[in-house]
Amino acid sequence: MDIIRLILSILLPPVGVFLQVGLGLHFWLNILLTLCGYLPGIIHAVWIIARK
């Protein structure tokens, strides 16, 4: 399942974070980072998925 989350995190970073943690702080932070720049959103999403 982590492979699917990683692929989704590269395509749509908030979706991968949502599947990992739900509608918590990290989800909203990832949306903000993705709006500021696509790459920060991807880095944050991969970090969240790899951390757990």
CB 2, CB 33: distance < 8 Å:
no
- For residue range 6-20, list pLDDT tens digits in order: 999 999 999 999 999
- For residue range 1-52, list pLDDT tens digits in order: 889 989 999 999 999 999 999 999 999 999 999 999 999 999 999 999 999 7
C-alpha 19/C-alpha 9 separation (Å) is: 10
The pTM (predicted TM-score) of the whole model is 0.89
CB 48, CB 21: distance < 8 Å:
yes
